[in-house]
Amino acid sequence: MNQNWIVENLNNAFSTWNGKLTELWGLVTTSPQSFKGGAVWGVMQSLHSAMVGIGYALIVLFFAISLFKNTTNFHELKRPEAALHYLIRFVAAKALVGYGMDIMLNIFSVCNDMAAGMGGISQAMVTLPGEMQSAIENVGFLASIPLWLVTILGSLFITVLSFVMILTVYGRFFRLYMYTALAPLPLASFAGESTQSVGISFIKSYVGVCLEGAVIVLACVIYAAFVSTPTVSGGEATTMVWSYLTEIIFNMLVLVGLIKGSDRIIHEMMGL
């Protein structure tokens, strides 16, 4: 067995984790317009524009449903306050559908600034301690066999956790696109009193998705403060590496669990 290969394997696993953390930070602090050079955003804008026309048609439908449901006879509309109430509702719904994208981008910008203001996540990076590397390089051939097995298992767990973490963040980013593209449809529900709950639920859900970025960054900050520097125990190299990897993987599981549970945390906070 090549001890240099063991060190290289561990460094590659840690490099994968650190790279995904860096990618996570980039995704959380990147606006939808600039992601992948804006190519995806261009498609979402086209879909949103197509949905706006459908949204205007739904405004008329929801408004008519509300009008016939809540008005027993049209003599009530002769009262100025009643007519003004329905007029304001119709105009407000039309403005929400027409300017929905601008409103949603402003909401995202506020939540994005909140996440960026919490600081970086460099403290959550992982490196191989120098004394452990020296111990591995001094291991004999027979002793390196169990060390090789421990390294393979540890590297596999770290790699899997890295991809689970980044896939969760990507899922949140793509949900932002879906909300933006289909926004005119639920926003049109504000035209009717009986249907406005759909629009309210949509806005709360969208704000929740935007705030997930802040929760993810906060989870990384708490994780970095909680973990500090993992301890390196003495003894044989195999025992040393096993103890170190066990602690590292446990800490990574905590962070990945917090990131995957960010949507649940937001739902509980906002009562969704």
pLDDT attached to residue 239: 73
The length of the chain in residues reads 272
d(CA 14, CA 155): 8
List CB contacts of 227: < 8 A, sequence separation 6 or more: 124, 251
> 56 is written with which tokens?
């205007």
Across the chain, mean pLDDT equals 80
How does DSSP classify residue 229? Answer: S
pLDDT tens digit string along 163-177?
Answer: 998 998 888 888 888
pLDDT attached to residue 100: 85
Q: How far apart are the first and last CA of the chain?
A: 55
CB 262 within 8 A of CB 169: no
pLDDT attached to residue 142: 64
Q: Which residue has the tokens 């509702």?
A: 89
pLDDT attached to residue 40: 82
pLDDT tens digit string along 214-238?
Answer: 888 888 888 777 765 555 555 676 7
Residues of the chain with pLDDT > 90, as a percent, come to: 2
CB 28 within 8 A of CB 217: yes
pTM exceeds 0.85 for this model: no
CA 214 to chain centre: 9
Look at 52-61, 95-104, 146-155 and tell me which has the smallest mean pLDDT. Answer: 146-155
> 113 is written with which tokens?
């600034």
CB 140 within 8 A of CB 228: no
CB atoms within 10 A of CB 259: 23
Residue 70 has pLDDT above 60, yes or no: yes
> 17 is written with which tokens?
């984790």
d(CA 185, CA 182): 6
Nearest to 115 by CA among 252, 259, 254, 264: 259
pLDDT band at 89 (very low <50, low <70, confident <90, very high): confident
Q: Which residue has the tokens 């739902």?
A: 267
> 235 is written with which tokens?
């003894």
- The one-letter code for the residue type at 70 is N
pLDDT attached to residue 1: 45
Full DSSP string of 101-145: HHHHHHHHHHHHHHHHTT---GGG-----HHHHHHHHT--HHHHH
pLDDT attached to residue 134: 73
Residue 107 has pLDDT above 80, yes or no: yes
Look at 62-66, 73-77, 135-139, 217-221 and tell me which has the smallest mean pLDDT. Answer: 73-77
How does DSSP classify residue 33? Answer: T
d(CA 88, CA 193): 12
> 5 is written with which tokens?
């290969």
